[in-house]
A and B are shown apart, each in its own frame.
Chain A
Amino acid sequence: KQEVTQIPAALSVPEGENLVLNCSFTDSAIYNLQWFRQDPGKGLTSLLLIQSSQREQTSGRLNASLDKSSGRSTLYIAASQPGDSATYLCAVSGNQFYFGTGTSLTVIP
């Protein structure tokens, strides 16, 4: 069964820093990997989707990479801002979506 792990569980950085969030998964037979953002009391918003044949995707200050063979993905956030504070979850798609437990990010002004 697919298991998805995210490290660290929580991260606090000063504004302006670049940061990396990590996601690992145990079964490389995936269709895609998505990174989501969840704000308190809100649903999840998909930020980036990387297809299994792709290595990375970029959107603005966000860059997500995928190394399927090693079962790893990273989400790079450049020049962090207080508005980036949220919980970030990754999910891999096989016969269903499997979610990690998330990284709670706090960007300190």
Chain B
Amino acid sequence: DTAVSQTPKYLVTQMGNDKSIKCEQNLGHDTMYWYKQDSKKFLKIMFSYNNKELIINETVPNRFSPKSPDKAHLNLHINSLELGDSAVYFCASNSENSRNEKLFFGSGTQLSVL
């Protein structure tokens, strides 16, 4: 069983469209994250949710809206897609109660905006 799964793996869309990426974890973790990895492989945190509550919201355009229906799911909705949104988006999870637990990642969603 995949621990952190995100869909879709690839997403190709036109500028201006709205799209969503879904993420689910079956590890019983209480904290989930969205990261953006640019073409230079730099990973930057976008959002962090703990037990469905927003904890970290980095400087991200408000076109990006995370939604956590329960602590096992964290989805990312993007409105009015722009060329600069093209990147790989990773979902991750861990247990916030333990500061020394490994971070588990999904396999990524490669978003290409044309």
Nearest-neighbor residue (CB-CB) of B104 within chain A:
A46
Binary interface encoding of chain A residues 82-102 relative to chain B, with 1 for a CB under 8 A from any of its CBs, else 0: 000001010101011101011
- Given A43-B106, A43-B107, A96-B56, does the pair A51, B100 have CB atoms closer than 8 Å? yes
A residues near B56, Cβ cutoff 8 Å: 95-96
Of B33, B41, B92, B110, most A-chain CB atoms within 10 Å: B41
Number of contact residues on A: which range applies? Answer: 20 to 34
Binary interface encoding of chain B residues 89-109 relative to chain A, with 1 for a CB under 8 A from any of its CBs, else 0: 010100000011111111110
Q: Is the interface of A mostly helix, strand, loop or mixed?
A: strand
B48 within 8 A of A: yes
Number of contact residues on B: which range applies? Answer: 20 to 34
- Given A101-B40, A101-B41, does the pair A42, B103 have CB atoms closer than 8 Å? no
Bound-complex Cα distance A38 to B42 (A)? 12
Of A42, A43, A51, A96, most B-chain CB atoms within 10 Å: A43
- Given A31-B99, A31-B100, A49-B100, does the pair A43, B45 have CB atoms closer than 8 Å? no
B residues near A95, Cβ cutoff 8 Å: 56
Nearest-neighbor residue (CB-CB) of A87 within chain B:
B41
A residues near B105, Cβ cutoff 8 Å: 36, 43-45
Nearest-neighbor residue (CB-CB) of B48 within chain A:
A96
